Homo-oligomer: A and B are copies of this chain.
């Protein structure tokens, strides 16, 4: 059965992205600080269809590959979509991607296997559509932080991985903001140390009321 997951890099002080985010300044410019470990890995570039011979085949790459492989559909917010739209390679996601938005827009069918669907009727509807599309693989809530928070608050997330980079960002948007302490029991599933980040995976179970 599909799990609902998210998987993202954050800073030591918990920031998912910086200030002044826009298509001209995706993630507020902090991506190299948070995702530096990822950019070093060949498998990351391969998965987004970019050749990068200077990248390496390291242990971190296996972690990147595993999350690409398990994901059968993505859900993201309109802002993240707009920040990425002008930068992403064609067929980056290789699955259906459900974009939460108030605008109406026809699906954007890319060459290959990526199609963006624009969902106007809320996070549960996007999830239902994503589940259908994922055919038993996992649904990854891609972001931004606000969308991840909405799914967390709705009690819908099964598992997540955070990659904590050894850096302070000081301001921006935090991944975990106002997350209720009454929804989930949280269990540590796996911790994998690495040179440039620390990978931490947690399982969420709805609290028995």
Contact = CB atoms under 8 A, between A and B. Distances in A.
Contacts of A208: none
Interface stretch (A110-118, A133-141, A191-199): A191-199
B186 A179 contact: no
Contact of A202 (B166, B169, B170, B178): B166
Number of copies: 2
Interface size class of A (residues with CB under 8 A): 20 to 34
Contact of A186 (B12, B181, B187): B12
Given A170-B178, A170-B179, A179-B170, A193 B188 contact: yes
Interface of A: 12-14, 164, 166-171, 174, 176-181, 184, 186-188, 190-191, 193-198, 200, 202
9 contacts: A12-B186, A12-B202, A13-B14, A13-B174, A166-B188, A168-B176, A168-B184, A170-B178, A198-B200
Nearest to A184: B168
Nearest to A203: B166
Contacts of A179: 13, 168, 170
